[in-house]
Amino acid sequence: MPIDALSPAETVESIGQRSSRHSPDLGGLNALDTLKRVSLVVGFVILVCIFAVVALLVGMGSSQSRLAAEEARRQFSSLMELQARQLSVQTLDYSNWDEAIDALLTNKDRVWWNKNAGDYAVSTFDLSFSMVFDADDQVLFAAVPLHRALDLEKLRVSEALKSILKNARSRPLVGPAVQVAAAGFVQIDGQLYSVSAVRFRPESSSSPANPQPDALLVFGKSVVEAVLPDTAEVMGLPGLELVNEVPPGFTEVAIALANSEHFGYVVWQPRQHSQKPIQDIIPWVGGLLLLALVAVVYAGLHAQRLTKQILEDSRQRVSLAERNRSVLNAVEDAILGVDLDGNISFANPSASKLLKIPAADILVLNVKELLPAEYRQPLVSALETGQRWATQFANLVDAEGRRFPAEISLTSIRYNEKARGGVVGIRDISERKFFENQLYLKANFDPLTGAPNRTYFSDYIGRCLKEAQLSGAIMLVDIEGFKKINDSLGHDVGDLLLRDAYERIKANVDSSSIVARFGSDEFAVCLADCKDQAEASVIAHQVLMAFTKRFEVAGNMVWSGASIGIAVFPTDGTTGNDLLRHAEMAMYKAKSLGKDVICSYSAEMDVNTQSRRTLEVDLRRALANGELELFYQPIVSMDSKRLSHVEALLRWHDPHKGLIGPDTFIPLAEETGLIVEMGAWVLEESCRQLAAWHAEGLEPHVGIAINVSGRQVPNGLSLDFIAETLGHYGLNGAQVSFEITESVLLDNSDAAVDWLRGVRNLGIKLMIDDFGTGYSSLSYLKHLQAAALKIDKSFVSGVAGESENKEDQSLVLAIISMAHSLGLPVIAEGVETAEQADWLLKNKCNYAQGYLYGKPTDSKHISSTLVPRFLTTVG
């Protein structure tokens, strides 16, 4: 019988028997050598096992930290990707806009840029820069916050940005933001920026062609100032840092630029996890090692102790098994050992804690009883085939009825290439899902009202149209007078009003409708179950009636109103962009018709919009080509019949359409902001012409009156520019009057008040134009310190002659009396007959203006005939 087939006792006995058949010394030595060799082998095995235990303990000490660090890295990467996608969505929203293509790529309109995609976008989205590049990567437009010193040239030539621009031009033109926009990191002077770039694209197939199809809109955010703080807040960390070298004890994620160049690391201090320090275990393990070494040496010298050493080895094996079990017990995930039928043979304590099932009860269950029905068969199939299986998300229910999101995985156990069972892991991902949901809410919902935002609403309409589920209407609601309420009562009251408005809209539409907040005072409603325009109008009327009732906010009684625009699917559009655009047209049409108006879209609006766009392009060309001209109309003293002033009136000589009156283009100029550039030109041309007339002999007291729009106050005509213009032409302020409407008086902002005060300090007289057609407030007149009132011609026409009526006479008399009581002279506009002039003179009107004294005419005619005529008297 071979010696290795015996038990330890049998082995000792066998050796003794064999020794008796040989010489005593030689037989004892042979037996002792054999036992020594066996002891050394056993001792070596024990040493290997102990070293394995040490390695396992060290690994156990750090396994939980490694798992936590890997989870944190994955979470950080997911949050960074979500924020990059949000930046891409914002960039795409501005580039997919016909008005932006026309303003930026066709007309190079810097005023539009600053008000929309430039300074406005930078401040609204907390951007570090907003830029437009042409096909040669030259900068067409750029906007940077005032506090940021950014070298745009370095940015333009950086390899990382070039890589992003090249990538953006290679992407498809149509699709979601993640497909059409290119994103990545760029560094300038050590500062890291998250950048998104996308090509401009027309809103629909009927839109005008894009003149620069390879032009790009680029948005950039500071990673340190804007991206990392939001990420740290969502992850619940005290802070994230951007470094070149990773400090000891920190968790890191490497950051690469868009051109794959390494930039640095984002690091953070990991959350502390409780675990037994390795230092407490090492002395025990060291003692164990020393004991094992002594035992091996002793066994080598004393063969008779081989049995004891074998028993010690067995004890160590049991200890190792217990320690392996302790590793499984320390893991926070639920770990289940299952056989090929799914019967549970092992469960760690975390499984009992997570599933709220006692440990003993888990061991009588089949794993399929713990899983949702849809995951049972895939897991059984994976067990039978010995394959790995996992699901990223599943809704589980514990024994107490609590639902929680989880990740489930199966690792098969194979022996001799045959499946023997598996290990099932269940991880609770509630915390991660909470963070993801928070970021989703931040990107898709308005934090003030809780309503969906424009991004969510647009995506919702797109999904409905794609799935052919939308058969209703889009309704845009604009709150009238919100800015005035916000400015006068404060932003806190304004915020409460917006919340109340949102609730009122929701209360007047059915539960299937989606109500979103688009802007400061604009809401959008998707009426999914609305059948036609008539039904949409009924719902819109209900919403409008809700806004006629007073709002009680923060102890204030506030009255507001609404303008509502409607677009119906599919009559008014078959795409989300078309429906929103047409609803917006209808809303602005409603606003133009007055307060509390509902307007449905019609194809006529598209024609009008196109006509307005054409007129805007022509008007910009007129400014550039000098097609604008000033006409002048005399203002005469009624007592002396002598010329007092001339009013400068703007006219447009279009080379194709001829003379265009101000009623056609002035409202458009106000709406587009062109009135600012026009106003500067009118002031300079008026001063130049007045100086020329004075040089020809016109009496110095004769001045000029210039109309000033509310859009020009206070920045359009700055005080410095006005003073510089007067000085350039040698005029003093007393020779110039500004005619302003009563709407300018309603702007109580500090800047507007300072502008009015500065104008008076320059000696310029302020005249109230069209008095009686607006608010006609005495308090505003006293506050403004006006120099004169102009009575609107609609009242003057009824004081005498064929149109004479008592109401107009009484009103004009009241205005004259009130003005004189305040020490203000009165100018009557639209005087066309001698009867009107006689009545006005009789009732002490100071000045007159109208066709009776001369029609508006150009400067040559004024110089040759009209001025000499008024140097004496008017017959």
Q: What is the DSSP string of 431-481?
A: HHHHHHHHHHHHHHB-TTT--B-HHHHHHHHHHHHHTT---SEEEEEEEET
Cα–Cα distance, 747 to 486 (Å, whole number): 13
Task: Supply the DSSP string of 98-167, one letter for each residue.
Answer: HHHIIIIIIS--HHHHHHTTTHHHHHHTT-SEEEEE-TTS-EEEEE--TT----HHHHHH-HHHHHHHHH
Predicted confidence band of residue 578 (pLDDT cuts 50, 70, 90): confident
Cα–Cα distance, 172 to 3 (Å, whole number): 78
Pairing of strands 703-707, 251-256: unpaired
pLDDT score recorded for residue 235? 75
Which segment of 194-198, 425-429, 613-617 scores lowest on mean pLDDT?
Answer: 613-617
Cα–Cα distance, 185 to 181 (Å, whole number): 14
Residue 152 has pLDDT above 80, yes or no: yes
Which segment of 107-121, 139-153, 304-318 scores lowest on mean pLDDT?
Answer: 304-318
pLDDT score recorded for residue 120? 84
- 533-564 b/e (C-beta count within 10 Å ≥ 16 → b): beebbebbeebbeebeeebebeeeebebbbbb
Whether the full predicted model's pTM is greater than 0.85, yes or no, is: no
Residue among 427, 447, 456 nearest 502 (CA): 447
Cα–Cα distance, 34 to 15 (Å, whole number): 9
Cα–Cα distance, 779 to 820 (Å, whole number): 15
Average pLDDT (754-770) is 90
Cα–Cα distance, 408 to 371 (Å, whole number): 9
User: Which amino acid is present at 13?
Assistant: E
Residue among 580, 567, 507, 639 nearest 203 (CA): 580
Q: Most confidently modeled of 319-328, 705-714, 779-788?
A: 705-714
Predicted confidence band of residue 311 (pLDDT cuts 50, 70, 90): low
Mean pLDDT over the full length of the chain: 83
Task: Supply the DSSP string of 675-739, one letter for each residue.
Answer: HHHHHHHHHHHHHHHHHHHHHHT--TT-EEEEE--GGGTTTTS-HHHHHHHHHHTT--GGGEEEE
Residue 321 has pLDDT above 50, yes or no: yes
Q: How far apart are the first and last CA of the chain?
A: 152
C-beta of residue 162 within 8 angstroms of C-beta of residue 153? no
Which segment of 124-138, 731-745, 824-838 scores lowest on mean pLDDT?
Answer: 731-745
Residue among 229, 202, 226, 224 nearest 213 (CA): 202
Predicted confidence band of residue 838 (pLDDT cuts 50, 70, 90): very high
